[in-house]
Amino acid sequence: MSNKVVTIYFLTGNKHKVIEVEPIASKYGFKIKGYPGYKVEIQSMDLAEISEKAALLGYLYLGKPVMVEDAGLFIEALNGFPGPYSSYVYKVLGINGILKLLGGVSDRRAYFLSATTIIYKPCIITERGRVDGYISIEPRGDKGFGFDPIFIPEGSDMTFAEMSIDEKNKYSHRARSVSKALEKLGRCIEYMGSET
Ligand code: ITT
């Protein structure tokens, strides 16, 4: 493997995601560049299918190494709602709408799922990540984005919005899927290098 640092174009309109992923990428020896505007999202119940299709289309368009990460919040008492529709539900209902839907419900269990696809020719890698936790009674914290102020991961008392990036990355669905994908990419590049 050459010593040149590979830059991966992270196709997302969400700056927070880029900030979360940058330190993980540098740990694995890669550089991340946020690239808004190229993520085409198909509708599917499967986050991995969404991230794969978006990455393939993005790669066809850009012709450079690309990463796509798709995520959603799944609430047990609501049969997994909003899941793959999290972005729409966040815009329409917001965190207060979710808290209202859960008003009086004692089962607060929820989890985030994430799927990350990286395409660095000829390597095409998709990995998933999950974090289990609870929906808080009220919003807490002002960091992060989306549902962070109401999600408490198992093993912590804090919501994601009360954590630094490093703390959130110790638990998060995104950190898990991205780490696995970058680790696999490193191995794929090494293998391809040893083939030539
Ligand atoms: P993309 O441009 O990458 O699609 P997005 O913000 O739309 O950015 P997703 O489609 O992956 O991201 O996620 C859907 C929604 O789920 C997102 O808008 C948030 O409301 C929520 N979400 C995902 N990951 C989250 C996280 O780590 N913390 C809080 N909310 C999150």
40-69 pLDDT, tens per residue? 889 899 999 999 999 999 999 999 999 999
Q: What is the distance between the alpha carbons of residues 86 and 67, in angstroms, rounded to a whole number?
A: 20
Ligand 1 centroid vs 146 CA: distance in angstroms?
A: 6
Residue 28 pLDDT greater than 80, yes or no: yes
**Under a CB-based contact definition with an 8 Å cutoff, are residues 167 and 143 in contact?**
no
Ligand 1 binding pocket mutation candidate from 73, 89, 169 (most atoms within 8 A of CB): 73
Residue 142, token pair as written in the block: 């002002």
Ligand 1 centroid vs 191 CA: distance in angstroms?
A: 33
Residue 195 pLDDT greater than 80, yes or no: no
Residue 29 pLDDT greater than 80, yes or no: yes
Burial class of 148 by CB neighbour count within 10 A (0 to 12, 13 to 18, 19+): buried
What is the pLDDT averaged over residues 181-187? 97
The pLDDT score that the predictor gives to residue 193 is: 85
* Predicted TM-score (pTM) above 0.75: yes
Among protein residues, the one whose CA lies closest to atom 7 of ligand 1: 87
The pLDDT score that the predictor gives to residue 37 is: 82
Q: What are phi and psi of 100, to 5 degrees?
A: -65, -45
Among protein residues, the one whose CA lies closest to atom 15 of ligand 1: 87
**Under a CB-based contact definition with an 8 Å cutoff, are residues 135 and 151 in contact?**
yes
**Assigned architecture for domain 6-195:** Alpha-Beta Complex (3.90)
What does the buried/exposed string (b/e) look like for 66-88 if buried means 16 or more CB atoms within 10 Å of the residue's CB?
bbbbbbbbbbbebebbbbbebee
In 3D, which of 7, 73, 76, 14 has the Cα closest to residue 41? 14
Q: Parse the chain into domains and list their residue ranges.
A: 6-195
Query: CA 159, 162, 167, 170: dihedral to nearest 10 degrees?
Result: 10
Counts for the chain of helices (H) and strands (E), in that order: 6, 7
In 3D, which of 63, 64, 55, 68 has the Cα closest to residue 17? 68
pLDDT tens for residues 150-177? 999 999 999 999 999 999 999 999 999 9
